[in-house]
Structure 1
């Protein structure tokens, strides 16, 4: 996919996952304040998506990702349950491995990441792909729920497109 403004990692994900599934991508909008995280939003298969690339940090296990929007009043704010985005795709990449978390908005709301009527969400989070060996109890608990929404994108083997279809099914 050679679309101006599309981050290279998202283009790879589109070519390897969404195109083979027959899912079109429309309405791409870059979020210029978070370009370091390849931040953008788009619609795939009629599902509004927020995309981020997680970053490896030097001192902690897991990968860090910002997940905020600019509020109409000016300061940054967590995404809210009332926002249009239905799916948050967080890409994780190391030198030899690639995968994506496909988090439905409702799941992130239950986990306190997305703002609800009763609780403010978070502006960032740490994700733990299966190749990260977590040691703290909190990280283990977080990784456990996150892995339900993770799909690895192997370099040479087949991608589990059925699993991705399952995750999209509830959103359509």
Structure 2
């Protein structure tokens, strides 16, 4: 059974605190320089470094009418207008926590994959301000959602709060992405 979240992480970041305790601490990855993004607090938005790599973090939300979970992925430009994250922004990964009942896990997406999928902006293509993620426990009914889930699940790590998370898989996935 999981212990209470670290006192340094308030309830807004409960899922992140659980992932730190059950995964990152156990595979020797230190989380540092946590900075909350008040404007996207509804999605537990923050930045930090993990194993020395800059990360953007969000928690996804279940929506009432569609399968999958939604998450915003935007910033404000110098004019105060929202825009998608860009390939030039200082992050290597976007980690998105997903939860439904007792199911819990994280998508750990490298910037390069998000750029390839058109989620992060490039010099020639605008990215997206939000996306839908499909954890393995969701069963999408549309072809497009099924295709999206097929590529997303490679980057998904199931986190079991009973302490039985596959730390070897976690280490392999994160090492593959961080190296």
- Give me the TM-score of the superposition, normalised by structure 1: 0.95
Superposed counterparts of 1:104-123, under 5 Å: 104-123=110-129
Cα drift, residue 12 of structure 1:
1.0
Aligned residue number for residue 146 of structure 2: 140
Aligned residue number for residue 8 of structure 2: 3
**Partners of 1:97 and 1:155 within 8 A in 2:** no
**Aligned residue pairs: how many?**
172
Q: Which whole-Å CA distance do the structure 2 matches of 1:156 and 1:144 have between them?
A: 27
Tell me: CA distance 1:137–1:31, structure 2 relative to 1, closer, same or farther (3 Å): same
1:99-133 CA distance string (max 9 Å, x none): 10000000000111000111110000000001101
Aligned residue number for residue 178 of structure 2: 171
Q: Which whole-Å CA distance do the structure 2 matches of 1:157 and 1:11 have between them?
A: 14
Q: Secondary structure at the match of 2:54?
A: strand
Superposed counterparts of 1:26-45, under 5 Å: 26-45=32-51
Superposed counterparts of 1:76-87, under 5 Å: 76-87=82-93
1:44-72 CA distance string (max 9 Å, x none): 11010000000000000000000111212
**Partners of 2:22 and 2:161 within 8 A in 1:** no
1:13 pairs with 2:19:
yes
Aligned residue number for residue 131 of structure 1: 137
- Larger relative contact order (Cα-Cα within 8 Å, sequence gap ≥ 6): 2
Question: Larger deviation: 66-75 or 2-11?
Answer: 2-11
Aligned residue number for residue 64 of structure 2: 58
Cα drift, residue 39 of structure 1:
0.4
Which of 156, 164, 168 does residue 158 from structure 1 map onto? 164
Q: Which whole-Å CA distance do the structure 1 matches of 2:170 and 2:33 have between them?
A: 21
- Give me the TM-score of the superposition, normalised by structure 2: 0.91
Unaligned runs of 5+ in 1: none
